[in-house]
Amino acid sequence: MPKMNATAVARLAELVRAADRIFVLTGAGLSTESGISDFRGPNGLWTRNPAAARIFDIEAYRNDREVRVAAWRHRLDSEIRAAEPNTGHKILASWQHRAEVTIATQNIDGLHQRAGAQGVLELHGTFWQSRCLDCEYGCSTDVVFARVRDGEEDPPCPACGGILRTATVAFGQTLDPGTWRTAVQAAHTSDLAIAIGSSLAVQPAASLCDVALLNGARLVVLNAEATDYDPTASLVVNERIGPTLAAVDAALRA
């Protein structure tokens, strides 16, 4: 085993083995090992380029064509397009065969599903679908990419001429109510909640940890850096996600 906190691995394996209903909340840190930058980690997109945050501000996106042009260029170049699921995604999907495991993710990259996970709750939507901000039109984001490559810097909605955007939740937008309700319910009925690769700084997603805790679940935080939820957790593991989950999975199989 690589150098790792063996006690934490054994403890996490014990908690997973004992749990009947596990609620997993994942964040951008789970996908950094697939080559997708997170926002707030040491190598994060915003840590390197604070101006990039404007792309994720819905008012700026609506009002400023330059922001939309930059956003489409950014998406076309996005690391998400070439990424493959990693060990962590695959192990979490496999745990759905050993317990009732609900995965709620803040990620928009679709990698949980591509690793085989079922019923993934995409709290912040998906990069792979786009829709019009002004009418009901929606399409695969690949369709919009083809238009951008053909020279439309800010492709308008083909139905109404309105503004197209990926089906992702920007700051200033509310979460899909159905997805949110299902996530709250899953957190509420869980006996173990595991937050993985999230700074737990984005609300309301992080509050799902509170929902689980208030209902008596134990909380585990697996993240490279400290989070505000660490004091409430039964176990905090400040290690790399892939190797940690691989070690826990090996312990579960032993």
Which residues lie near Zn ion (CB under 5 A)? 132, 134-135, 137, 157, 159-160, 162
Q: Which is nearer to ligand NAD, 101 or 236 (CB)?
A: 236
Decide: is 201 part of the binding site for ligand NAD (CB under 6 A). yes
Q: Which residue has the tokens 């009002």?
A: 63
Q: Which is nearer to ligand NAD, 12 or 108 (CB)?
A: 108
Decide: is 96 part of the binding site for ligand NAD (CB under 6 A). no
Smallest gap from residue 20 Cβ to ligand NAD (A): 26
Query: Which of 78, 96, 130, 199 is close enough to bind ligand NAD by CB under 6 A?
Result: 199
Residues of this chain, 117-146, that bind ligand NAD according to CB under 6 A: 124
Q: Which residue has the tokens 């593991």?
A: 237
- Residue 24 CA to residue 9 CA, distance in Å, equals 17
Choose among ligand NAD, Zn ion, none what residue 122 binds, the Cβ cut-off being 5 to 8 Å by kind.
none
Type of residue numbered 87: T
Query: Which of 23, 24, 33, 221 is close enough to bind ligand NAD by CB under 6 A?
Result: 33
CA distances from 111 to 72, 78, 81, 101, 158 (A): 21, 14, 11, 16, 29
Smallest gap from residue 213 Cβ to ligand NAD (A): 18
CB contact burial 213-228 (16+ within 10 A = b; e otherwise): beeebbbbbbbbeebe
What is residue 96's DSSP assignment? Answer: T
Query: Which of 115, 144, 241, 248 is close enough to bind ligand NAD by CB under 6 A?
Result: 241
Choose among Zn ion, ligand NAD, none what residue 159 binds, the Cβ cut-off being 5 to 8 Å by kind.
Zn ion
Q: Is 124 a catalytic residue?
A: yes
Compute the Cα dihedral for 25, 28, 31, 32 and give only its sign.
Answer: negative
Q: Which of 74, 89, 97, 124 is catalytic?
A: 124
Beta strands per DSSP E along the chain: 21-26, 100-105, 121-122, 125-132, 138-140, 164-168, 192-196, 218-222, 235-237
Residues 6 or more apart whose Cβ sits within 8 Å of residue 190: 19, 21, 22, 23, 102, 212, 215, 217
Smallest gap from residue 202 Cβ to ligand NAD (A): 5
Residue nearest to ligand NAD (CB): 29
What is the C-alpha radius of gyration for the chain, rounded to an integer number of angstroms? 19
Smallest gap from residue 145 Cβ to Zn ion (A): 18
Query: Which of 15, 95, 109, 167 is close enough to bind ligand NAD by CB under 6 A?
Result: 109
What is residue 53's DSSP assignment? Answer: G
Residues involved in catalysis: 124
> Which residue ranges make up the site for ligand NAD (CB under 6 A)?
27-29, 31-33, 36, 38-41, 44, 106-109, 124, 197-199, 201-202, 223-225, 240-241
